[in-house]
Each structure stands twice: as C-alpha cells, then as structure tokens.
Amino acid sequence: MSNGRKKLLIIGGVACGPKAAARARRLDPSAEITIIERGPLLSYAGCGLPYYIGGSIPELDGLRKTQYGVIRDEEFFNSVKDITTRTRTLAETIDRKQKTVRVRNLETNVTEDISYDKLVLAVGASPVRPPVEGLNLDRVFSVHVPEDARKMRELIESGEVDKAVFIGGGRIALEVAESLFAHAVDTTIIEIEGSILPEVLDPEIAATVAGALRAEGVAIFISEKVLRIEGNEDGRACKVVTETREIPTDIVVVATGVRPNVQLARETGLAIGETGAIAVNERLQTSDPDIYAGGDCVECTSLVTAKKMYAPLGSTANRHGRVIGDNVAGGDATFPGIVGTCVMKTMGVNVSSTGITERQARDLGYSPLTCIVPSMDRAHYYPGGKPILIKLVADAKDGRLLGGQVVGPGDVTKRIDVLATALTSRANIDDVANLDLGYAPPYSSALDTVAHAANLLKNKRDGIVRSVTPMELRKRMGRDEDFVVLDVREASELEKSKLDDKRVCAMPLSRLRSSAEEIPKDKELICLCQLGSRSYEACRTLEGMGFDDVKFLEGGLRFWLELGEWNG
C-alpha cells in the first residue's frame, strides 16, 4: 500500500464480482479496484441466456446492458466506476503470504503478479459433465456462458434443428426447452432421477409439471440413464442412447447441474465446506480473513435447516456482492443465509419452490406434515383466473413451516415469495393462516390459497380431518381393496370427468345428509370432489352422522388428473 490506497482484487467478473466491486467503490472512493475475468465478457445476466436462445431477448448484448441501455464493458467499468477490468485473464495461483495473485493473459500467455490487500473469489461454477460418452461431439451444448447461447441460437436459426434431446431435467433444461419449443423443435428430456426438478419439487408435484409439458408435446423420460451420444460421419451428435432406447436428434443439451469452481481455493489452502463449495462465514470471509468469496463458488447456510447447502443463483450472488463490497471497504455486513427459493417458467407453467421438500424433510429426520391444494389464482367468480397448485410442508412436531411448492399457469411467484418471507421469520402454520395478504377479486380469494392451505394443515394436525393422497388411492385401487369412494360432486360435473372404478359411487354433497342411509356404515369411505374442499366438508358431515372411517382425496380430481399415469 505504497500510495495508501487499499488494493481490492476481485477474481470473477460476471455477477458477484462486479457487484462487490461497484459497492466497494461507492463506499471507498480511493481504493484501487481490479476485476480479473477469464472469459471475454463482463457483468452479463447469465439467467437470461435461455431467453436469448429462444429469441425473446433479441440481442446477446441486451444481457450486459444497464437498464438505461449502456453496455457494461471494460470502458464502462473504467469511466463510470473507476474500476480496472482484465478480461480473458486467468488467476492461476494465490500467494497468501505475499498477498499476490499470479494471473495469465489468455491472449498473450504473459503472466504477472497482482498484489492485493483484500481478495475476492467470485469464480462461479462450471457445468457438471455427466459420465456419458460423446460429450465432445459437435452440437453437444451446455448453456453456461454467452458463447454457448450464441452458438445454439445460430444453429437453431439455421433451420437445421428439428429435434433436441436434453440430458437432465432441471431448471436450465426446462427453461431452454421452452425456448426450443418456441422454435417448434421436437423436444425430449431425459432425467436420471425419478422425477424432473428433483431438488426443488416433490415427485407428485413434478409429475403435474411433467404432465403439462407432455401435453404440449414434450417427451419426458424419468429414471432413465443416458449411456452415450453417438455422432455421424461429420462428428455431429445425431443420436442419444439410453439404457432403454435410442433417440435420433439434431442437437444435445447437457444440463445436469453445476459444480462450484473450487480448484484455486483448494490449491491455496482455503477451507472447502461439506457441500464441496468454498466455506465462508457470515461476513463471507473464507478461512483466510483477507480473502472473501461469494456467488456460485460458495456454500450458504439454510435458514430452514441451519445446515450448509449449495444453491447457486444469480439473486444470491448479487446479495453476496453487496455484503462483500461493504466488508472489503471496511464495513461490517453479514449474509445470514438463504431459504432456497427457486422460480422458473417453462411452456406456460410457472414453477416455484422454497425451503425444503417433503422428501428432503424426511431425509433430514423431520416428521413432515403436508397438504396439497389446487385452486384458481384469483376469486373464482372473477374472469381470467388460472389454476395453481400449492403444496406446503411443515414440521408435525411444532407446526413450523419447512417449505412450499407452487406450480401452474397462474400467479405462483406471489405465493412462493410470501412463503419464502414467512420461512425467513421461522413462521408456523398458524402464522401463515393469519397472514393479512392483499385481497381484491382480481388478485386472490378472500382467503388466499396460501392461508387456505395452512388451514388445511391445521385441520390435519388437529385431527379434524384425514385424507388420502391420489398416490395412495391408486395403489389401493390396484390392490383390489374394499372401500367406497363417494364422489360428492354435482351430476353436471360427473359428465365431464369421473373415476372409472366399481368402488366409486356418486353422492352429491347436496344429497349427502338426506341420503345417508344409502351409504354403507361398515366400510371405509373416501370422499372425492373437484378440488378437495367439498370432500373435506363431506367428511365432517359423515362423521357428524356417525360414520367413523372417513377420509377425503387430497387435491381432488383435478390433482388426480394432473398426475396422469403417475402413481408414485
């Protein structure tokens, strides 16, 4: 610090790095701030790449423009922010004693040592390369950097892509699939796990999303392992071979998740966490207090489970950047953690999740209490409403909310953001039921579906009602067990759809009280309606009349039908 100016060196120029640099500059006008970026571009919105591929974002430069239209390039960082940037520059080694980083210019191959007072690792993540032969063939893509997207769009616009196969059924795959769909590309998704989006959705919720995609013509194969990609004589991918089938294709997209870039940190001797990402404290310091890390290369604390988790997201990277910027400029900011919120759009379906899933809750030793509620996203009598499906997961022990999943064509992100906010304050289901959410007919029911779902959880917890899931009912129907399904919908509804099983008997809710003598007293009764609310009421009515083995079908016939052939 010969000139008395603090030297801040930031490795990584995409999301967390530039944010940290800009924040530090705003707080410390005299610091020497340098960003090193291995790629050619700075400060681009990686989350926008799927939409560039599909063309809804016309220019790739749109992803690195400010909201007032100026491109965030080297000149921008220099003139506007007084931040030095070096693109196509790789950080090779860190000398923590000397506090220097050896960097290599990837154009000239010249190396150089840059000294620092505070160092920031914002080195991101890299696509996982699954154990599949043929990943190096032409026309095999991952969607990680702008160049990937540019090549893909070019190829698609060339008209040479009629068919696409996705290896992996996670968020990126589904976002890019939507883009290809917009280009009328025949799309196949292959997921090795038992359901798509396995990290954020429970299998039955994922099944409804998969059902919606299949209805649009997308082929989805789950629990299926890809063995190899085969190429033609030109070295271009032309076929994907799985354990059970061969799928001809013009393009292969590998989207099997990302892995944190930890090699540099590991070689430098910094602590790596149990998740495999760089370990940091609340101030986002690594095990070396002069080295900070944030974004896709670090692990976060789950505010739900208090455990470490790896959930790389642009929003988290952005918030990390601000905290690091504060701290390297001499402040004392903390990043408490995340609840693990994920939202995405795919082919007319909005998909969202926060906290942990039922499966994750079980794996972590909780006794999860869950419910599934289908509804419209506004007052049922207000025109233009669209369906949504909500699943809540709570701890049966103390009623604390653990997570939520909301999917459907309707407004799901409002509900997931409410649940994410409630999770942050460790709300229980009574708190959620009592929330004073905005109500007017164009936006919600008088009791929003989030609160309604919380009330159903309370009823289940308090033993006021018992339910069966469609998955349980399907299994039991298959086993030829003896019970009666009372379809309590009105006659006009039965014409549209009904369950075809000899154990199903029509008994409209309006006739239930007057026709109780028609209902067998000695059999288990499972009430069924369209959305689950009338059948819940039927349960209470029947119990009031002395029937003692009564349940309702959770999620109603709508959820049953959305599950398609799936039976868990």
CA dihedral 462, 463, 467, 468 (to 10 degrees): 110
Q: Which is nearer to its own copies, 69 or 478 (CB)?
A: 69
- Tell me which residues in 357-386 interact with its own copies (CB under 8 A): 376, 379-383
Candidates 4, 365, 478, 544; binder of its own copies (CB under 8 A) is 544
Q: Out of 7, 534, 551, 558, name the contact with its own copies by CB under 8 A.
A: 534
Nearest to its own copies of 30, 497 (CB atom): 30
C-alpha to C-alpha distance for 482 and 525, rounded to whole angstroms: 10
Burial 139-170 (b: 16+ CB within 10 A, else e): bbbbbbbbebbeebbebbeeeebebbbbbbbb
Question: Closest distance between its own copies and the C-beta of residue 224, in Å?
Answer: 27
Options 233, 234, 332, 436; binder of its own copies; rule CB under 8 A: 436
Query: Nearest distance from residue 88's CB to its own copies, in Å?
Result: 24
**Region of 117-125, 253-261, 272-280, 524-532 interacting with its own copies (CB under 8 A):** 524-532
Q: Which of 424, 391, 429, 394 is nearest to 407 (CA)?
A: 391
User: Which region, judged by CB under 8 A, interacts with its own copies, from 59-67, 93-101, 279-287, 474-482?
Assistant: 59-67
In this complex, which beta carbon is closest to its own copies, that of residue 221 or of residue 547? 547
The stretch near its own copies (CB under 8 A) out of 34-42, 64-72, 83-91, 190-198 is: 64-72
- CB of 462: closest distance to its own copies in angstroms? 9
> Among residues 184 and 545, whose Cβ is nearest to its own copies?
545
As a whole number of angstroms, the distance between CA 371 and CA 392 comes to 6
Pairing of strands 118-121, 291-293: parallel
Indicate the residue among 394 and 531 with the shorter CB distance to its own copies.
531
Distances (CA, A) of 156 to 143, 189, 330: 14, 18, 49
CB distance 511 to 532 below 8 Å: no
Q: Which of 16, 47, 371, 539 is the catalytic position?
A: 47
Alpha helical stretches, state H, 439-532: 449-461, 470-478, 491-494, 509-512
Residue in 36, 173, 451, 526 binding its own copies, rule: CB under 8 A: 451
Q: Quick one: 224 or 411, whose CB is closer to its own copies?
A: 411
According to DSSP, residue 375 is labeled E
If one asks whether residue 472 binds its own copies (CB under 8 A), the answer comes out as no
| 330 scored as a contact of its own copies (CB under 8 A) | no
d(CA 277, CA 260): 6
Binding mask 149-188 for its own copies (x = CB under 8 A): --------------------------x-------------
d(CA 414, CA 429): 18
CB of 304 to its own copies, least distance (A): 10
- Choose the stretch contacting its own copies; rule: CB under 8 A; options: 57-65, 131-139, 162-170, 281-289: 57-65
- Nearest CB to its own copies, comparing residues 387 and 568: 387
- Nearest C-alpha neighbor of 460 from the set 471, 469, 473, 470: 469
Q: Which of residues 260-319 bind its own copies (CB under 8 A)?
A: 303, 313-319
- Applying CB under 8 A, the span of 241-249, 268-276, 445-453, 479-487 interacting with its own copies comes to 445-453
Handedness of CA 549, 550, 553, 557 (dihedral sign): positive
Q: Which stretch binds its own copies (CB under 8 A): 63-71, 249-257, 280-288, 471-479?
A: 63-71
Residue 95 parent element (H or E): strand 89-95
Cα 403 to Cα 352: distance, rounded to the nearest angstrom: 11
Q: Report how many residues bind its own copies under the rule CB under 8 A.
A: 103
Residue bearing tokens 């099983």: 501
| 27 part of the interface to its own copies, by CB under 8 A | yes
User: Is 529 among the catalytic positions?
Assistant: no
The alpha-helical segments, DSSP class H, found in 55-166 are 74-81, 146-157
Rg (CA), the chain: 27
Just list the catalytic residues.
Answer: 47
